[in-house]
A and B are shown apart, each in its own frame.
Chain A
Amino acid sequence: MRLKVIASDFKVNIKAWSRSKGTLFWTLAFPVMLILIFGAIFSGVGEVEYELDVQDLDDSEMSHEFIKILEETGVIKVINVSVNEDIMSYIEENNIKRLLVIPEKYGEVIISSFGTNATVDLLFYFDQSEQSSNQVIRSVISNVIQSMNMELSHGRDIIKIEDIPTITEDFDFIDFFIPGMIGFTIMQTCIYGSIERNTKYRKYGILRKLLTTPITRAEWIFSKMLFMMFLSFLSSVIIILVGILVWGITITVDPLMITLMIITISATSFLFSGMGMLIGRFVKEEETADTAGGAISFPMMFLAGTFFPLDQMPEFLQEFARILPLYYVNEGLRNAMIYANQSEALLNSFIVIIFASIFFLAGVLLTKWNED
């Protein structure tokens, strides 16, 4: 492989791509447009005062005092949860986004804190998909705790906060939608790009011409994959930026999760480029191949839980979704980007890598440049 050839080919791809209004639209403007439209349709009215469910197991003067201070901040509206409620099922049943538990010994610990090392943990349950508002509330709570600690002991952390993430099925639509949009956009870009190269370039004689020049197929494929990954990451970044700036989604900032995201995005580029090669291999006419690409990618987009969760679909369709590669792309990206669910993110990105290897290898092995 000659780097110079690859670099020159890569450069030319970007040049040609940036001149095509059609491709620019589909790779950049279209996903942004969808996010804006769908986000506007599904997003609720923004919260002004945040509700916080509080279960006060201590029910002492000290705990009442604490709740009063929270309410006085003016940001939090406290909802009292009965002492008899089981917290986890309460959260699940009522779709609670955040909940604070004041433990039984709270008052006692504070009173006896002078001269001992005793501490008390407040339990903060929060839904990960609601990060932006939860961050606001959490910082309000910890500010309150900090000032109480200052007053009680000049800074020793008597009252502490323990974070307990919860996952309810009720994520914000936009959180669900953004990773799906990324998967969908990469799929479209790679399938159609690959189809174009394997049908139009064949018809135009470009592939035959290349056979008579010293460029190797490995160099060509390598530079094309670089280019496809460039587009995939560009679209992903733009989609995420719009998600953050316009809809205030929060993505997981964690080295492992970001690595998994990058791996999944790269593998997805290979996966759908391979799929496009296969389509172009068996359907030789460009227009027909484009139609075939649409016939494969559009149903997959709907069935693989890109725009709405699988459990809103009939059982048999949910089963069907589990054989679709895009499903694992979506799940992988969601778990890495939004839910920060390590094991799910790992599992799904692994499955995407397997799909990618199969499709890409099949694509490379079954397509050729020369005629029979």
Chain B
Amino acid sequence: MIEKNVRCPKCHEIVSFSGEPGERITVTCPKCGAQGKVTFEKLTTDKDFAIEVSHLKKVYGNLIAVNDISFSIKKGDVFAFLGPNGAGKTTTVEMIESIRIPTAGMIKILSKDIRTNFDDVKNDIGVLPQEFHSFERLTVKETLVYFSNLYKKQANVDEIIEAMDLKGNQNQLYTNLSGGLKQRVGVAIALVNDPEIIFLDEPTTGLDPKARREVWNVIAGLKKKGKTIFLTTHYMEEAEYLADHIAIIHKGKIIAEGSLDELLNRYGKGKILYIKRLKTKNVKELLQQKGFEVTSEENGDIAVRITYKEHVIEVLSALRHDCIDYGSIDIKRSNLEEVFLHLTGSKLGEVAS
């Protein structure tokens, strides 16, 4: 039996239900009587985790760069490690990659303790280090062939070139590539051994928006193929766009963790439906009577909090029922920036500078 807290879509009361893992049951809100469905997540076992980190710590002199963090990454997930400059992202990811030695803590990759099994693990992981820059005077294809020759298990280099959309550049020297292409080659290098887990340390930092999009598409493509991806970034849009699971790290500590929706619901203001240019007065009272939460009303524009997507339809049908006309609607949801602000009192971008 596990327990789960959900917010009633109608009266916004937080209610607790219990059920079996994997079960989906119909429930009734004890306060307002609304009916809905609740799904209980399957329990995850060791075997479902690609990476397990517990009580990981790294100390540099007086600085605790990584301060006793624990988390697990499910197979097939894109895990985003979001945090400002100097938060401890690289230190953490490089400890998992066995590049740095932890001061304390335990790391398992595919259930294997990396302290004793890393040579084994090397074949299952592909790594793009932060600010990676490959051999300048090799072509894209030569670079990939070189790295793939280091492994016993090798993916087909031509297929990687195709998948990463590098065909047109395969005979160009690495040094002559644009920043975005270099990063795509970096990701491609991380794939030469057809790894299960891919580590990408800030793969889009310093790229223009178009190049960033291209890298995002590449990562989304890898996810589709079922790869587990450990992505570090200080761009919240990147985490929002790509991640199944997000951990926010700040000053060496994980300050929040969960899916995007979970984080937004827990720490953000939720989604807001803006209804603009209402032709009728007193709509606020009307909606409140029907149990909706109106967060603001100004010059005929009104803002209503939305917790589930059906909410939008409910609000709009309430308006139509009373023949209330309006100019336009817009839905804005809170974002990770807001979550970060809420948790740390500062903006992600500000901490960075």
A-B contact pairs, 27 of them (CB 8 A): A5-B150, A9-B146, A15-B138, A15-B142, A17-B137, A19-B137, A20-B137, A204-B131, A206-B132, A206-B133, A208-B94, A209-B127, A209-B128, A209-B132, A209-B189, A211-B97, A211-B98, A212-B97, A212-B98, A212-B99, A212-B122, A212-B127, A213-B193, A214-B151, A214-B152, A370-B99, A372-B100
8 Å CB contact of A208 from B99, B122, B152: B99
- Across the interface, which residues of B come within 8 angstroms of A211, CB to CB? 97-99
Least Cβ–Cβ distance between A351 and chain B, in angstroms = 36
8 Å CB contact of A213 from B101, B137, B145, B147: B147
* Given A16-B137, A206-B135, A209-B132: 15 more A-B contacts, CB < 8 Å: A12-B135, A12-B142, A15-B137, A16-B136, A203-B133, A204-B133, A204-B134, A206-B132, A206-B133, A211-B99, A212-B98, A212-B125, A213-B151, A214-B150, A215-B150
A208–B150 contact, CB under 8 A? no
Is there a chain A Cβ closer than 8 Å to B310's Cβ? no
A205–B132 contact, CB under 8 A? yes
B137–A205 contact, CB under 8 A? no
- Across the interface, which residues of B come within 8 angstroms of A89, CB to CB? none
Is there a chain B Cβ closer than 8 Å to A371's Cβ? yes
- Across the interface, which residues of A come within 8 angstroms of B119, CB to CB? 214
- Residues of chain A in range 205-229 having any CB-CB distance to chain B below 8 Å: 205-206, 208-215
- Across the interface, which residues of A come within 8 angstroms of B94, CB to CB? 208, 371
Chain A, residues 349-372, CB within 8 Å of chain B (1/0): the string is 000000000000000000000111
CA gap between A211 and B101 in the complex, in Å: 12
8 Å CB contact of A206 from B122, B134, B173: B134
Least Cβ–Cβ distance between A195 and chain B, in angstroms = 16
CA gap between A211 and B150 in the complex, in Å: 11
Q: Nearest CB to that of B133 among chain A residues?
A: A204
Is there a chain B Cβ closer than 8 Å to A4's Cβ? yes
Least Cβ–Cβ distance between B137 and chain A, in angstroms = 4
Is there a chain A Cβ closer than 8 Å to B129's Cβ? yes
CA gap between A213 and B132 in the complex, in Å: 15
Is there a chain B Cβ closer than 8 Å to A117's Cβ? no
8 Å CB contact of B131 from A15, A205, A210: A205
- Across the interface, which residues of B come within 8 angstroms of A12, CB to CB? 135, 138, 142, 146
A370–B101 contact, CB under 8 A? yes
Q: Nearest CB to that of B126 among chain A residues?
A: A212
CA gap between A37 and B173 in the complex, in Å: 35
Least Cβ–Cβ distance between A282 and chain B, in angstroms = 19
Is there a chain A Cβ closer than 8 Å to B241's Cβ? no
Is there a chain B Cβ closer than 8 Å to A8's Cβ? yes
Is there a chain A Cβ closer than 8 Å to B130's Cβ? yes
Chain A, residues 13-27, CB within 8 Å of chain B (1/0): the string is 001110110000000
Residues of B within 8 A of A (CB): 60, 94, 97-101, 119, 122-123, 125, 127-138, 142, 145-147, 149-152, 173, 189, 193
Q: Nearest CB to that of B138 among chain A residues?
A: A16
Least Cβ–Cβ distance between A210 and chain B, in angstroms = 8
- Across the interface, which residues of A come within 8 angstroms of B97, CB to CB? 208, 211-212
B150–A213 contact, CB under 8 A? yes
- Across the interface, which residues of B come within 8 angstroms of A19, CB to CB? 137, 173
- Across the interface, which residues of A come within 8 angstroms of B129, CB to CB? 205, 208-209
8 Å CB contact of A371 from B100, B131, B150, B193: B100
Least Cβ–Cβ distance between B182 and chain A, in angstroms = 11
Q: Nearest CB to that of B130 among chain A residues?
A: A205
CA gap between A190 and B123 in the complex, in Å: 33
- Across the interface, which residues of A come within 8 angstroms of B137, CB to CB? 15-17, 19-20
CA gap between A204 and B133 in the complex, in Å: 5
Q: Nearest CB to that of A11 among chain B residues?
A: B146
Least Cβ–Cβ distance between B270 and chain A, in angstroms = 40
8 Å CB contact of B133 from A5, A205, A213, A215: A205
Q: Nearest CB to that of B127 among chain A residues?
A: A212
Q: Which 3 A-B pairs have the closest CB atoms?
A: A205-B129, A204-B133, A8-B149
- Across the interface, which residues of B come within 8 angstroms of A372, CB to CB? 60, 100
CA gap between A209 and B126 in the complex, in Å: 9
A371–B99 contact, CB under 8 A? yes
- Across the interface, which residues of B come within 8 angstroms of A17, CB to CB? 137
Q: Which of A15, A19, A208 has the most CB of B within 10 A?
A: A208
Least Cβ–Cβ distance between A369 and chain B, in angstroms = 8
Least Cβ–Cβ distance between B279 and chain A, in angstroms = 61
